[in-house]
Amino acid sequence: MKKQRICIVGDGLSGLITTLALNKLDGLEVHLISKKNKLLKDKRTTAISASNFDFLNSVVDKLDKKLFWPSNKINLFYEAKDQNMNFLNFNEDKKNLMYIFENDKVKENLLKKIKKKKIKTLQKNINNLKDLKGYDMIILCLGRSSKIYQNIIDKRSLDKDYKEVAITGYIKHNLKNLNTAQYFLKDGPLAILPFSKNSFSYVWSLNKDFPKKNINAVVKSKICELLKTKNIKISNQQSYPLMLNLKRTYYKKDILILGEGLHTVHPVAGQGFNLVLRDINKLQEILKYYTGLGMSLKSCPALEDFTNNRKAENIITGLGIDLTHHFFKQNKLLDPFKESILKNVSKNNTLKKISKFISNQGLSI
Ligand SMILES: Cc1cc2nc3c(=O)[nH]c(=O)nc-3n(C[C@H](O)[C@H](O)[C@H](O)COP(=O)(O)OP(=O)(O)OC[C@H]3O[C@@H](n4cnc5c(N)ncnc54)[C@H](O)[C@@H]3O)c2cc1C
């Protein structure tokens, strides 16, 4: 029987993993289209949950585990009046809570796997959907904003400009047993994400008008103060404007948006790509079902099923993250009560269990 052809456009993390996930299905021929001449390297790290790591492991043959740094302790701090209050900590002895990887290294590795599997890859800039002919399904993984999406979505997506930027970078250190941490500071949330014995990355979300002069020195001094060390070295600093965008329309005919284009969320909870991985997992499951029945991708309700399965979780999580971010932002009325609210959070074991479960598995049970 002739294979049905799927084209994936965009070779970010979403496009690469979708390519490998769908290539596992019988009866499909997958093509990957990537942009020519990309200049900027993605010098960020990404934290994914243990269940998403398992999914990745199932999709990528012989996953190079050395690229994924496990973490079994996560501490959350709130910058109170005279000290940083550790209001929540997750601590596992026997299993890992998350894995942190360097985006550019994993992308390079996934591309090698794609080439090894002889999946057809093409280099061209797609400016118009008319450039993509002869496919049974098209999956657009073009990142957070692409003009091409306007041909698919209606205008009803949820949008918000946080008027913030995330400053990211890598740090070399010689601290012992550094754990993953999130500091809710007055200037904005700062995450510490260890990805090797002596390196971690940071993500510090700051107001757009935060003075950028000597930002390297400001970051260095803040991190030295938090970790009580003098000996760190910063590299690879980058910055990302922050916004919320939650699409309500996911597809048109046989063209689907996937990845950050479906949901761009604030990085404070490290959940953006975790949602993407759950989307890819569900898409793989749905396409396996319909192709297994011998149905044509053009006429089966796969993309409708995908939307019905994933939209609620994506929107609720995006709004939940927005609410969390809002709670920790400076607020004259709420600030006097935050310490006591957070003290109660730290005593509440049920809440702790629920948040651990949701960050690992998402909302779909
Ligand atoms: C500071 C920061 C930290 C984050 N940390 C975490 C975290 O710890 N955990 C987590 O779960 N999530 C995190 N996220 C979210 C995560 O980074 C994103 O979900 C993920 O990178 C999205 O990848 P993507 O492939 O969808 O998009 P992108 O990485 O933007 O990839 C889009 C691709 O499409 C290609 N492209 C674009 N236009 C065209 C075209 N016309 N033709 C052909 N190709 C095209 C581009 O070249 C690019 O390769 C973070 C986000 C930020 C901003």
Identify the residue whose tokens are 């994993």.
106
Residue 364, pLDDT > 70, answer no
Give SS3 for 49: strand
Q: Whose CA is nearest to atom 22 of ligand 1?
A: 260
Q: Relative to the CA of 16, which ligand 1 atom is closest?
A: 25
Name the residue of 139, 273, 277, 358 whose CB sits within 8 Å of the most ligand 1 atoms, as the mutation to test its pocket.
273
For ligand 1, the distance from its centroid to the CA atom of residue 283, given in whole angstroms, is 18
The two structure tokens encoding residue 289: 């079902």
Number of H helices, E strands in the chain: 8, 17
- Give the per-residue pLDDT at 326: 94
Euclidean distance between CA atoms 269 and 238, whole angstroms: 19
Q: What is the pLDDT of residues 280-329, one digit of tens each?
A: 999 999 999 999 999 999 999 999 999 999 999 999 999 999 999 999 99
Q: Relative to the CA of 205, which ligand 1 atom is closest?
A: 1
69 strand-pairing partners = 100
For ligand 1, the distance from its centroid to the CA atom of residue 234, given in whole angstroms, is 23
Mean pLDDT of 13-30: 97
Beta strands 137-140; 4-9: pairing state: parallel
**Contacting residues for 118 by C-beta, under 8 A, at least 6 apart:** none
For residue 93, count other CB atoms closer than 10 A to its CB: 6
For ligand 1, the distance from its centroid to the CA atom of residue 295, given in whole angstroms, is 32
- Give the per-residue pLDDT at 146: 92
Task: Please name which of 32, 31, 43 lies closest in space to residue 10, comparing C-alpha atoms.
Answer: 32
Euclidean distance between CA atoms 341 and 350, whole angstroms: 15
Put residue 325 in one of left, alpha, beta given phi > 0 → left and psi -120 to 50 → alpha. Answer: alpha
Confirm or reject: Cβ of 9 under 6 Å from ligand 1.
Answer: yes
For ligand 1, the distance from its centroid to the CA atom of residue 141, given in whole angstroms, is 9
For ligand 1, the distance from its centroid to the CA atom of residue 276, given in whole angstroms, is 10
Confirm or reject: Cβ of 284 under 6 Å from ligand 1.
Answer: no
Q: Relative to the CA of 10, which ligand 1 atom is closest?
A: 34
Residue 152, pLDDT > 70, answer yes
**Contacting residues for 313 by C-beta, under 8 A, at least 6 apart:** 275, 278, 362, 363, 364
- Give the per-residue pLDDT at 47: 97
For ligand 1, the distance from its centroid to the CA atom of residue 233, given in whole angstroms, is 26
Residue 127, pLDDT > 90, answer no
Looking from the CA of 295 toward its CB, the CA atoms found within 13 Å total 13
Residue 365, pLDDT > 60, answer no
Report the mean per-residue pLDDT for the chain.
93
Confirm or reject: Cβ of 362 under 6 Å from ligand 1.
Answer: no
Q: Relative to the CA of 142, which ligand 1 atom is closest?
A: 34
Domains and CATH numbers, the chain: 4-361 (3.50.50.60)
Q: Relative to the CA of 259, which ligand 1 atom is closest?
A: 26
Confirm or reject: Cβ of 201 under 6 Å from ligand 1.
Answer: no
Q: What is the pLDDT of residues 55-112, one digit of tens each?
A: 999 999 999 999 999 999 999 999 988 889 999 989 888 899 999 999 999 999 999 9
- Range ranked top by mean pLDDT from 28-42, 156-170, 341-355: 156-170
Element (H, E) at 344: helix 335-347
Q: What is the pLDDT of residues 224-250, one digit of tens each?
A: 999 999 999 999 999 999 999 999 999
